[in-house]
Structure 1
Amino acid sequence: MSRHSAPLTLSAEERSELDRLIRSHSTPQQLALRARMIVLAADGVGVCETAQRLGVWRKGVSLWRARWLAHGAGEAVAERLQDAPRSGAPATITAEQTCAIVALACERPEDGAVPISHWSASDLAREAVRRGIVTSISPRSVGRFLKRI
């Protein structure tokens, strides 16, 4: 192990869970990659060699080793390998409101007494506010919701 690498020791349960994450076909690839980094560290592989084997930057390997060591052993393995929370404003429109707006878009405008033949994003935004689904919403936000489906 390189003299700059922090030594990692894994419990049998942690090792088993990391191996399961690596082998599972449903594990997101970034999570599996991070699990490989931790397993290699526990096997005594240095930061540089780990980066070469996995085709990633040394800085990323060092970052995930440090995060692994910083988190408590009582925390679940998958949680220890998750991304850090991102900055930014919290969402103002809930998932339920989004679903209600999408459901509104699936309705025929004539059924809701709206005198148009097809919904536009601005028509949907106005109707969502009129029905009390949201207090305010921009047509652009409505368009983003509909683009995701």
Structure 2
Amino acid sequence: MRLKKLAYGHKTEQRLRVRAQVVLHAARGRSNACIARETGLHLDTVRRWRGRFAQAGLPGLKDRQRCGRSASFTPLQAAEVKALACRLPAESEVPLSRWSCPELAREAARRGITPFMSASTVRRWPAQDALKPWQHRSWIFITSPGFRLKAAWVLDLYTRTWQGEQLGDDEYVISADVTELCFPTGRTRPLRR
């Protein structure tokens, strides 16, 4: 029953759906070659999913954990570079009217935010948040002297971490006010219902 739900469910991921269909075809007595033709998969792929299902059942159809490369930069480093990108270069005594990605990467290294980063990484981070620091007249500049500490607290809470420990399943994060982080002048906007 659960296998059919996986194979034909509307909310099932495509890759799990195809894997479940391979197993259902096999249960009907079809050969690997026949299943490969019907599903459009390679013969080796059909063998793999049949074998994984035979060994582990339904959990065998899920992707295995991959090690991969760990993140090179912390969320705090990304936030600091984004904050730097939103400041005028003249404030850092850099003779530019606006930051270029290579100059911003060099400035981040000079300030000790990161030991090294590529210009393409710098270009990618503001683009992820739709930041346009070159439009400096319409942007909020982060000038709070405690920005690093406050940003670290907030970013840790986003990852469900408090003082270096993971939060439990019964612990919740409720965001009541981050105006000190976002609006260092103390100005706040009232919330409306």
Residue 54 of structure 2 aligns with an amino acid whose one-letter code is L
Q: Which of the two has greater helix per residue?
A: 1
Aligned to 1:107: 86
Residue pair 1:121, 1:140 contacting (<8 A) in 2 also: yes
Aligned to 1:127: 107
Aligned length: 128
Unaligned runs of 5+ in 1: 1-14
* Whole-angstrom CA distance in 1 between matches of 2:86 and 2:115: 20
How much has 1:137 moved relative to structure 2?
1.4
What is the alpha-carbon root mean square deviation over aligned residues? 3.5
* Whole-angstrom CA distance in 2 between matches of 1:65 and 1:98: 44
Which residue of 58, 81, 96 maps to 2:62?
81
* Whole-angstrom CA distance in 2 between matches of 1:105 and 1:22: 50
Q: 1:144 to 1:103 in 2, by over 3 A?
A: closer
Percent of paired sites with the same residue: 27
- Confirm or deny that 1:142 pairs with 2:122: yes
TM-score, normalised on structure 2?
A: 0.49
Unaligned runs of 5+ in 2: 130-193
TM-score, normalised on structure 1?
A: 0.60
- Confirm or deny that 1:36 pairs with 2:15: no
Structure exhibiting the larger radius of gyration computed from Cα positions: 2
* Whole-angstrom CA distance in 1 between matches of 2:90 and 2:126: 20
- Confirm or deny that 1:19 pairs with 2:5: yes
